[in-house]
Amino acid sequence: MKKLLLLLGAGILFVSCSKLDETKPDETTLPVEKRLKFNIYAGTDYSDAKYDATTALIKLQAINKKRATGVEQILWETTVEERQIKLYPLANKPIVVEKSITNVIDKDDEIRYYYKVTYKYNNGATTSNSEKSEVFENGNMAKQLGISL
């Protein structure tokens, strides 16, 4: 009888120890790297002389909004210098601007990319803006955006 109790106890101990809980970490809590790629190009042929007095200035940003507090922080910002619109390349050879953002926690951070194009006509007498902002979805590690002028 003692042998049976000893074997039963050892069996219970063996079974309980062999099934240790091996949980996987939550993917949204692990730090990741997110990559942005902006392709900037002229959407049409601006070589005509009527475009000589038209320029474009482009502002690019990556912004982090903390999900818990709603506080936004600019992580990265750059400007593509103002130039005549006819000097921007066509889509087959765009200006490429890339940026990597490290240590992003999808659960806590909402990464948004933003661009603003300021057009100046008649040597700056008239201006207009075009802008766009989008959020990286959780789990999405790369975003590519075409900016057509």
Q: Each residue of 5-31: pLDDT tens digit?
A: 555 555 565 555 555 556 666 666 788
Number of domains in the chain: 1
Look at residue 55 and tell me whether its pLDDT is greater than 90: yes
In a domain, 11, yes or no: no
How high does pLDDT run on average in the chain?
Answer: 85
In a domain, 10, yes or no: no
* Domain, as residue range, for 39: 32-147
In a domain, 114, yes or no: yes
In a domain, 4, yes or no: no
CATH code, 43: 2.60.40
In a domain, 9, yes or no: no
If DSSP codes are grouped into helix, strand and coil, which group holds residue 101? strand
Nearest residue to 63 via CA among 53, 73, 78: 73
Query: What is the percent of the chain where pLDDT is above 70?
Result: 81
pLDDT value of position 9: 56
What pTM was estimated for this model as a whole?
0.76
